[in-house]
């Protein structure tokens, strides 16, 4: 499930870019699984599933809207829903 550590930059985005800022590929609306380190420099990760994001079809770069990044901060402050090797949260509005 977790192929690589991915750390979307916390950009102040209100919309997804039309073209990837890394490779200029097309960015599509997607639902993504994000992983964050438990702490700076830690190899353990925290997982959030079902996050709305924009994904570059070409290179896989993930773009998050500012409101989504804020929601993720809020979610990570709550206890995880389950421990599955890693603590896991799912992104859901109004849960």
Cα 92 to Cα 41, 81, 95, distances in angstroms? 28, 12, 6
Contacts of residue 65, Cβ cutoff 8 Å, sequence gap at least 6: 13, 14, 15, 16, 52, 53
> For Zn ion, which residue of 6, 13, 25, 30 counts as binding (CB under 5 A)?
25
Q: Of 1-20, which residues contact Zn ion (CB under 5 A)?
A: 20
Does residue 28 bind Zn ion (CB under 5 A)? Answer: no
> For Zn ion, which residue of 2, 59, 66, 92 counts as binding (CB under 5 A)?
59
**Minimum CB–partner distance for residue 68 and Zn ion (Å):** 19
CA angle, 59 then 55 then 47, to 5°: 105
Binding interface with Zn ion (CB under 5 A): 20, 22-23, 25, 56, 58-59, 61
């Amino acid at each position: 499930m977790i192929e690589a550590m991915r750390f979307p930059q916390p950009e102040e985005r209100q919309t997804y870019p039309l073209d990837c800022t890394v490779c200029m590929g097309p960015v599509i609306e997607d639902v993504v699984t994000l992983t964050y380190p438990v702490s700076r420099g830690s190899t353990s990760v925290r997982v959030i599933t079902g996050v709305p994001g924009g994904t570059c079809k070409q290179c896989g770069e993930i773009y998050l809207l500012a409101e989504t990044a804020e929601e993720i901060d809020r979610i990570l402050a709550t206890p995880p829903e389950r421990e599955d090797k890693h603590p896991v949260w799912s992104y859901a509005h109004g849960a």
